[in-house]
A and B are shown apart, each in its own frame.
Chain A
Amino acid sequence: MKKTRSFFMVPYLAWIILFVIAPLILILYQSLTNNQGQWTLQNFQTYATSWTYLKMTLNSFWYALLITAVTLLISYPTAYILSKMKRQQLWLLLIILPTWINLLLKTYAFIGLLSRTGTVNQFLAFIGIGPRQLLFSDFSFLLVASYIEIPFMILPIYNAIVQLDPALVNASRDLGATNFQTFTKVVFPLTISGVKAGIQAVFIPSLSLFMITRLIGGNRVITLGTAIEEHFLTTMNWGMGSTIGVVLIVMMFIMMMLTNDRKKKRQEVLPNEEKTN
């Protein structure tokens, strides 16, 4: 029994070694060597002393934070209301459906919507604010990125809210808590795990978005993702690209450590993970 099992495990273990461990090592190796393959900290030195790189990192971090905050503000009430609706499966399906439309197509829609003569500007002209430059601005980047990330924030929060025992809410009301108190003292603390999972699902991808910065942001916002893509595919400076990649990976680990509950980890990984991409 054991032998056959291990035999069938071979492709999976090979996958782990080749596509999980090896890429991580390779990216680290690239960042720590120069063109001649010698070990050096040159790349990290350049990164840490260059104001351009540091500013870009901070900028990217700031926008990811903004995107996460915006999606959280919109998603929490949505998830909460959803959890009180009838026919929840259907509503959930409607939330999931847009995530199955190719990302590029959704972004492309915004090119049309936000263009100088586009629908939004026609509306702005109609109410007298006049056509504005919407496309290729920081605002449009924030808008489109938030739009794309919203479902990934709603789903984990929703999962946490439906797991909340309604008896606790009733108890809190019976004991004389106002709605606001019930929310801040009971509902929110008990669903914080969903919020954390949502932040995890939104923040890291927001750091690494690169196609939206091109098509919508007009390269005004440079995220870590854009910088990596540029270094790998345009300037062919893989060492520096890998260095930024390592920075991104480190940020990811910090983020995960901040948002993972030790206690509940086991139960949470499964139901949430399947929807977070």
Chain B
Amino acid sequence: MKKRRISSIYLIIVFALLYAPIFYLIFYSFNQGGDMNKFTGFTWEHYSALFADQRMIVIVLDTLLLALLSSVIATLVGTFGALGIAARKQKKMKSALLTLNNVLMVSPDVIIGASFLILFTSLGISLGFGSVLISHIAFSIPIVVLLVLPKVDELDPALLNAAQDLGATRWQTFSRVIIPFITPGIFSGFFMAFTYSLDDFAVTFFVTGNGFATLAVEIYSRARQGISLEINALSAVMFVFALILVVGYYFIDQYSRTRRQKRKHHQNETQNEGVMLP
């Protein structure tokens, strides 16, 4: 019993430490005094300053547009990539493709940023929104593949044969059988790609040039100049946004889990499944 208490306390401390900086930021976003040292009174003024800041709003919209565009394109390319990888018959070919796929997953951001910068310069692509978009698509593709691939592997070939036996065209099999089946994977891939793009600083910093800035780059240049409570207000807004995203992701995950469990349930009579993890 006593041990349990110690472990609960430990966990609480870890969580407190994890969240302290975030709540600290949000708390001082309501501070009347202009710094993060002493709370002198409650105010919304930093929020109104934030929403009146034209430059900031443009940057936020750009960042969202960038995240949306890059994740949609990365999801498309990645999904077809995953389907293609799964269709390879030779094991060697498959694992070679997967290894190449994972290179960008394990490479440090600085390397990705620096090498993309060399790539864009040698191809003569000017730095700006375009180069940032291309980079975001490029580093989001592997995570989409990794999240869609298990779903494709789960696909029962008998299902495809059945569809074809019942007279479905190739397109019908694809759109009515394959796509609905792998949709949960596609959605989680899209979500992950979206957050990768929103979160990225290092790669963007390398390939952004002078004219274009994402939120992360803007916060960096402002933070170098010192404290401005507008950034605190922004972080509060972003925390709420991240919360919504996480909850959204959680529900998608739960949804696909229950579907999987239901299916497992049906199969249980005929074959013995391994233990499902929670």
Interface of A toward B, CB cutoff 8 Å? 1, 4-6, 8-9, 11-12, 15-16, 18-24, 26-27, 30, 74, 77-78, 81-82, 84-85, 88-89, 93-98, 100-113, 115, 117-119, 122, 147, 150-151, 162-163, 200, 204-205, 207-208, 210-211, 214-215, 224-225, 228-229, 232-233, 238, 241-242, 245, 248-249, 252, 256, 269-270, 273-274, 276-277
* Chain B residues whose C-beta falls within 8 Å of the C-beta of A242 in the assembled complex: 114, 118
Is B24 touching A274 in the complex (CB atoms < 8 A)?
Answer: no
Q: Quick one: which of B17, B107, B143, B205 contacts A147, CB cutoff 8 A?
A: B17
Is B150 touching A270 in the complex (CB atoms < 8 A)?
Answer: yes
Is B103 touching A20 in the complex (CB atoms < 8 A)?
Answer: yes
Kindly identify, within residues 119 to 175 of chain B, every residue whose CB is under 8 Å from any CB belonging to chain A: 119, 122, 138, 141, 143, 145-147, 149-150, 170
> Taking the nearest CB of chain A, how far is it from the CB of B51, in angstroms?
18
Q: Which residue of B lies closest to A98 (CB)?
A: B18
* Chain A residues whose C-beta falls within 8 Å of the C-beta of B255 in the assembled complex: none
Chain B interface helix/strand/loop/mixed: helix
Q: Which residue of A lies closest to B174 (CB)?
A: A4
Is B25 touching A112 in the complex (CB atoms < 8 A)?
Answer: yes
Q: Quick one: which of A20, A100, A117 contacts B37, CB cutoff 8 A?
A: A117
Q: Flag the segment in B41-49, B216-224, B263-271 that touches A.
A: B216-224
Is B110 touching A108 in the complex (CB atoms < 8 A)?
Answer: no
* A233 to B204 alpha-carbon distance, docked (Å): 13
* A101 to B35 alpha-carbon distance, docked (Å): 21
* Chain B residues whose C-beta falls within 8 Å of the C-beta of A274 in the assembled complex: 143, 146-147, 192
Is B110 touching A228 in the complex (CB atoms < 8 A)?
Answer: yes
Q: Which residue of B lies closest to A238 (CB)?
A: B118
Known: A16-B100, A24-B115, A78-B10. A102 touches B219 (CB 8 A): yes
* Chain B residues whose C-beta falls within 8 Å of the C-beta of A81 in the assembled complex: 7-8, 10-11
Interface size class of B (residues with CB under 8 A): 35 or more
Q: Does B198 contact A (CB under 8 A)?
A: yes
Q: Does B72 contact A (CB under 8 A)?
A: no
Is B77 touching A208 in the complex (CB atoms < 8 A)?
Answer: no
> Taking the nearest CB of chain B, how far is it from the CB of A244, in angstroms?
9
Q: Quick one: which of A1, A108, A249, A273 contacts B170, CB cutoff 8 A?
A: A1
Per-position binary interface string of chain B over residues 78-111, scored 1 when its CB falls under 8 Å from any chain A CB and 0 otherwise = 1011011001000000000110111111111111
Is B238 touching A88 in the complex (CB atoms < 8 A)?
Answer: no
Is B21 touching A208 in the complex (CB atoms < 8 A)?
Answer: no
Q: Which residue of A lies closest to B147 (CB)?
A: A274
Known: A89-B278, A208-B109. A9 touches B114 (CB 8 A): no
Q: Which residue of A lies closest to B189 (CB)?
A: A274
> Taking the nearest CB of chain B, how far is it from the CB of A52, in angstroms?
19
Is B102 touching A26 in the complex (CB atoms < 8 A)?
Answer: no
* Chain A residues whose C-beta falls within 8 Å of the C-beta of B199 in the assembled complex: 100, 102-103
* Chain A residues whose C-beta falls within 8 Å of the C-beta of B83 in the assembled complex: 5, 8
> Taking the nearest CB of chain B, how far is it from the CB of A153, in angstroms?
12
* Chain B residues whose C-beta falls within 8 Å of the C-beta of A204 in the assembled complex: 106, 108
Per-position binary interface string of chain B over residues 249-267, scored 1 when its CB falls under 8 Å from any chain A CB and 0 otherwise = 0100010000000000000
Is A104 touching B7 in the complex (CB atoms < 8 A)?
Answer: no
Is B216 touching A112 in the complex (CB atoms < 8 A)?
Answer: no
Q: Does B227 contact A (CB under 8 A)?
A: yes
Q: Does B36 contact A (CB under 8 A)?
A: yes
Q: Does B179 contact A (CB under 8 A)?
A: no
* Chain B residues whose C-beta falls within 8 Å of the C-beta of A214 in the assembled complex: 224
> Taking the nearest CB of chain B, how far is it from the CB of A97, in angstroms?
5
Most A CB contacts (10 A, CB to CB) among B76, B114, B216 go to B114
Most B CB contacts (10 A, CB to CB) among A1, A12, A84, A89 go to A12
Is B110 touching A104 in the complex (CB atoms < 8 A)?
Answer: no
* Chain A residues whose C-beta falls within 8 Å of the C-beta of B246 in the assembled complex: 93, 96-97, 100
Known: A5-B84, A252-B107. A273 touches B115 (CB 8 A): no
Most A CB contacts (10 A, CB to CB) among B21, B80, B84, B199 go to B21
* Chain B residues whose C-beta falls within 8 Å of the C-beta of A215 in the assembled complex: 220, 223-224
* A30 to B78 alpha-carbon distance, docked (Å): 29
